[in-house]
Amino acid sequence: MSEKVHATVGHHYIVEASGCDPDIIGSVERVQQILVKAAEIAGAQVWAISFSRFPPNGVSGVVVISESHISTHTWPEYRYGALDIYTCGKGVDPEKAVIYAVDAFGAATSHVTEITRGIDEGDTIFFHSFVTWEEDLKKKVKKDKKKDKA
């Protein structure tokens, strides 16, 4: 039973990346390359991609992976990118994808919440829990880590 329940568990990183390079996050081609590479770094298999201009200057994109999805929506005029990386199953490491993507965006700082999804207590009533932190990529430190069971 424990193995079956584990199959529903996923790790979903919600990221607000600030201080990004506007030339990078304003380019549909570069953002697509970064997210596909992030999927590969996580060890995920890419099934489909969809990237387009997010008016006025941003990029909106989704990479559907075998283990869930990676998506972004960017606002170069504010040097801001919203990023989601959600993976299920074993053999994938979404945190590596997060670190790669925010670094490739040129982000100075990130506000990150990691949501553990699809948890149950054996009763098939599913819930999620989360932990939040700020990450200063220049210092490579995590601070103000805050855990909460939602």
Which residue ranges make up the site for its own copies (CB under 8 A)? 4-5, 7-8, 10, 12, 14, 16-19, 47-48, 50, 52, 60-62, 64, 68-69, 71, 73, 75, 77-80, 82, 84, 86, 88, 109, 111, 113, 115, 117-118, 120, 124-128, 130, 132, 146, 148, 150
Q: Could you say which of 11, 20, 69, 88 is catalytic?
A: 88
CA gap 89, 99 in Å, rounded: 19
Is 68 designated active site? yes
3-state secondary structure 79-142: CEEEEEEEEECCCCCHHHHHHHHHHHCCCCEEEEEEEEEEECCCCCCCEEEEEEEEEECCCCEE
Q: How far is the CB of 30 from its own copies (least distance, A)?
A: 18
Token pair belonging to 24: 């990078």
List Cβ neighbours of 93 (8 Å cut-off, separation of 6 or more). Answer: 41, 42, 43
Residue that the structure tokens 């490579």 belong to: 140
- Pick the closer one to its own copies by CB: 1 or 140: 1
Is 73 designated active site? yes
Q: Could you say which of 73, 110, 111, 128 is catalytic?
A: 73
Q: Could you say which of 20, 68, 69, 110 is catalytic?
A: 68
Q: How far is the CB of 75 from its own copies (least distance, A)?
A: 5
